[in-house]
Chain A
Amino acid sequence: MRAYLEKLYLGLESRAQATDRQQHALTFELGRTVRSHTVFSKLPHRLVHDTLANLAGAVSDVKIVYATDTDPFARYGIRYDELRNRTDIQLPQAPWLVIRTELREQWRTGHMQSLSVSHCYSCHVVSQTKAIDQHTKDAAISARLNVSNWLFVASAASRDFREREAAPTRLYERAQHPNLRTPLFDDRVIFDERNGPLPYGVLPRQEKDTYRFSITNPDLLGFSFALAYATSDLANQHTGNKVSYDGLSLTLTRKLAARTHLAFYARAYAFDSTDYFFDSPEPVAVAGPYAGKTYRQRYGFDPDYLRRSALDRDVVEGTLRLSHLFSSKASLTAQYQARQIDRANYQVSPGETTTLEQKLKLALMARPSTRWSLRALATYGDIAHPFMALNAACNPNPLQTNPAPSPLAPGSVQYYQIHEARVADLTASPAQYTDLRLAASFQVNPSTLATLTYQWWDGDNHDLDLTNWSKHTQAVTASLTLAPAESWQLYAAAAYGERETETFVCIPLMDG
């Protein structure tokens, strides 16, 4: 429903398909001074229920992996509600200034599946129903100041996230030997049944503040100019850990000649997170040959660690694009993109923390005749030191070839030793790739248009030590649109796509 009054515009739109699938919008304008738009929507999110059937593995010994679903017939889902408002105020006395407020509230309520796993005396996966009651509140205010050719925009935004339901709890099994049921593992498990029910899957309260500032000018010494800065702080209110972001971007474009256009874009940004030191409890063994000693005292293994985020990084990226219009029937665009990611705490190759991505694109558009339209886009990407997990799987050489009477006996290999012996690098990122996209349209007659497109992508990574990773996709589409008469329109379309990923799987050969 829309109503145009002398100084008031009122719009109301309402759609209700079910009690949990609705959208209602209210728009009003008071002259041009106040412009407000409010939308409330709700919809269901259906979630899967994993039967855990694939965890029913067992071996002839008592060392088993098994699963328990405490709510096997549950149907999981979340109701999503969102209220969003945007209001602009622009006083007639100051038309060069627009103040905008934005408010958003989001509610997610319902139930989902939650999983927890115990260690020693067996791997027991337990599924429980977890109640969800999440509330996110966003508030933002911005000012747009237009003076001559200059546009200044400054904004401040704040987000608050809370999970109002308590985290699920689990009473973990007593840590003990799987066969003898004796407390031989007290020195290597830091929580069990004796700690009582413990929460898991805890979602802490989070707050995020974001500030942005930008300046644009469509004609600064012949250039279209845009400079923007953004900073944000995300804080975990439970632990006090923080993630900060700072980013600066610059965009310059200009016409070099009547038919040639140049664009340059550059951005530098950084993530910085709080380091977190985990001081592990170190219980002593109460039985066995090393009773009275901690795991560190027995094996020299230090379980404490300083957690430093793999996300922390300094990134610099740039794009240079040159477009040339040969005639009204053909144009060519060449684009070079580079991005350097220098990670503060994560190596992507031995001793190397920096990834350099370079991408070259060529795009050709042509209309060789009034009936034909052709487009071609070719991209080649080269990535030096792409993201990968170093030494993340596989130890090809045996660590213990003779049986030992127990995991506590001298000569029995320990999990941390298997962990340290891994040699295979893993990735799902290409070191180079080629992307080719072609499209052709043919106007068969004034009322019939035929279109054919083809896309081919091929990438691989041979930088890994034990294996290679590769991926290949291709897709073709064809469509025909007809309008045999003014009152008739018909279309037919077909598409085919295929993809193939080659990867590596590895498991340890062990017992113990």
Chain B
Amino acid sequence: MTRGQFGSASDRITNRGHDRMLSLGGQWKPSSRVQIAADLAYVRSDESMDRILFNVPAEVLAQLVDSIYDLTEAHTYSDLKLARWEAGLQATARLGRGVHGVMAYRLSKVTDDKPYLADLTGKLTVLQLGLRWTL
């Protein structure tokens, strides 16, 4: 059986997003052979939308007994909140004529407070050691 078609229900909604970022860093050359650099950053982003409220007349709901028009939780699928800390330290030393040693350490930590398709929470640590030789 088909219970009918009673037009459509609509609503106006607003999506809102915010981004905040703070970063600090610097470089220091304690001698002509050594250079040290450090940086620190914090980023926070969020995205949200209004709750969808469809104004469906009671007499229509009484006829469409098999249907649900309550989408008041649909906005939670777009309720995103993400924070990231990032810190890095890099040192370069001239070891000899044309030879440089490079050491770098980077830590990145992501906190996903409202995961949806994937939980992006995690920590990434990168340590680099290198030798640069210029002929």
Contact = CB atoms under 8 A, between A and B. Distances in A.
A398 B22 contact: no
B30 interface: yes
Given A54-B77, A396-B7, A507-B69, A406 B18 contact: no
A418 B118 contact: no
Nearest to A486: B29
B10 A504 contact: yes
Interface of B is mostly: strand
A509 B66 contact: no
Contacts of A54: 77
A399 B8 CA distance: 10
Contacts of B11: 504-506
Nearest to A61: B66
A49 B119 CA distance: 11
Contacts of B77: 54
Given A49-B117, A507-B54, A501 B27 contact: no
Contact of B8 (A488, A489, A509): A509
B107 interface: no
B30 to A, nearest CB: 7
A509 B2 contact: no
A509 B12 contact: no
Contacts of B105: none
B14 A495 contact: no
A397 B68 contact: no
Nearest to B74: A54
Contacts of A407: 2
A395 B8 contact: yes
A63 interface: yes
Interface string A46-67: 0011110010010111010000
Interface in A235-294: none
Chain B: interface residue count, which band?
Answer: 35 or more
Interface string B3-25: 11111111111111111111111
A468 to B, nearest CB: 8
Contact of B5 (A61, A394, A500, A512): A512
Interface string A1-31: 1110000000000000000000000000000
Nearest to B35: A487
A511 B2 contact: yes
Interface in A393-424: 393-407, 409, 412-413, 418, 424
B6 A498 contact: no
A2 to B, nearest CB: 6
Nearest to B68: A59
A221 interface: no
B24 A511 contact: no
A51 B117 contact: yes
Contact of A59 (B14, B19, B21, B67): B67
Chain A: interface residue count, which band?
Answer: 35 or more
Contact of A498 (B18, B71, B117): B18
A237 B28 CA distance: 59
B129 to A, nearest CB: 12
Contacts of B9: 506-507, 509
A510 B64 contact: yes
Interface in A460-512: 466-467, 475, 486-512
B65 interface: yes
Contacts of B68: 57, 59
A493 B5 CA distance: 57
B28 A487 contact: yes
Contacts of B66: 59-61, 63, 511
Contacts of B13: 502-505
A498 B17 contact: yes
Interface in B113-134: 117-118, 133-134
B95 interface: no
A60 B65 contact: yes
B60 interface: yes
A27 B65 CA distance: 72
A413 B5 contact: yes
A370 B24 CA distance: 27
Q: Which of A393, A475, A503 has the most CB of B within 10 A?
A: A503
Contacts of A57: 68
Contacts of A393: 8
Contacts of B67: 59, 509-511
Contact of B118 (A48, A412, A413, A501): A48
Interface of A: 1-3, 48-51, 54, 57, 59-61, 63, 393-407, 409, 412-413, 418, 424, 466-467, 475, 486-512
Ranked nearest first, the 8 interchain pairs of A and B with the lowest CB-CB distance are A512-B2, A511-B3, A61-B66, A490-B26, A506-B10, A487-B29, A399-B5, A510-B5
28 contacts: A1-B135, A48-B117, A54-B77, A57-B68, A395-B7, A406-B1, A412-B2, A467-B10, A488-B28, A489-B26, A492-B23, A493-B24, A495-B20, A496-B21, A498-B16, A500-B14, A500-B15, A502-B15, A503-B15, A504-B11, A506-B8, A507-B10, A508-B5, A509-B60, A509-B67, A509-B69, A510-B5, A512-B3
